[in-house]
A and B are shown apart, each in its own frame.
Chain A
Amino acid sequence: NAGVMQNPRHLVRRRGQEARLRCSPMKGHSHVYWYRQLPEEGLKFMVYLQKENIIDESGMPKERFSAEFPKEGPSILRIQQVVRGDSAAYFCASSPRQGHEQFFGPGTRLTVL
């Protein structure tokens, strides 16, 4: 049973470009969480999704950031018009149901030049 998969593992973008981060949850998991880790800091919650629904987006920046988890395929975290301050590690986690333990992926390290 493969763990949570994230790709790409490393992503470099220039200011103003778009970044798309993908997360495939563990088999049988329908709940996905995105966290951001700025350099030298702990992880901060961004958004919680269930298939086709955003359940909690209280940690998402108001502009430029969006997330989806379609019926088929991976969850996508999309950052439009990236700025240097978006440089961070973005972690995805999944769980089989609400309130259950979350299993983390290896993260995507985004660098904005």
Chain B
Amino acid sequence: AQKITQTQPGMFVQEKEAVTLDCTYDTSDQSYGLFWYKQPSSGEMIFLIYQGSYDEQNATEGRYSLNFQKARKSANLVISASQLGDSAMYFCAMRELTGGGNKLTFGTGTQLKVEL
């Protein structure tokens, strides 16, 4: 069973608009962490934001915020005031913390294109 699901293979947004990238996850662990990474065309993996399963507040980092809905098992990334440089592939990932939490499980990604 897929543990991380990103249902949007591609998204378009106009510059300065906000965009939401969807991510749902599946786990039976009570303790886990959720991550978003950005992968520009140059290929490196850039960490954006982290949400712990016990965090009561939604995580925010500058223009990035994570809309964490635990009951629905969703962890959507919201990018506000999109910029041309936000055009990239975005990956949602989960780390299950039970047993040490050593590996990240990634979704298939969403390709975001920011247009003028």
Q: Give A contacts to B, CB under 8 Å.
A: 31, 33, 35, 41-45, 48, 55-56, 58-59, 89, 91, 93, 98-99, 101-107, 109
Contact = CB atoms under 8 A, between A and B. Distances in A.
B10 to A, nearest CB: 12
Contacts of A42: 4, 91, 93, 106-109
Interface residues of B, number: 21
B50 A99 contact: no
Interface of B: 4, 37, 43-45, 47, 50, 91, 93, 95, 97, 100-109
Given A41-B108, A42-B91, A59 B103 contact: yes
A44 B102 contact: no
Contact of A104 (B44, B100, B108, B109): B44
A99 B108 CA distance: 23
B102 A43 contact: no
B102 A48 contact: yes
6 contacts: A41-B108, A43-B93, A45-B105, A101-B47, A104-B37, A106-B44
A107 B91 contact: no
Contacts of A106: 43-44
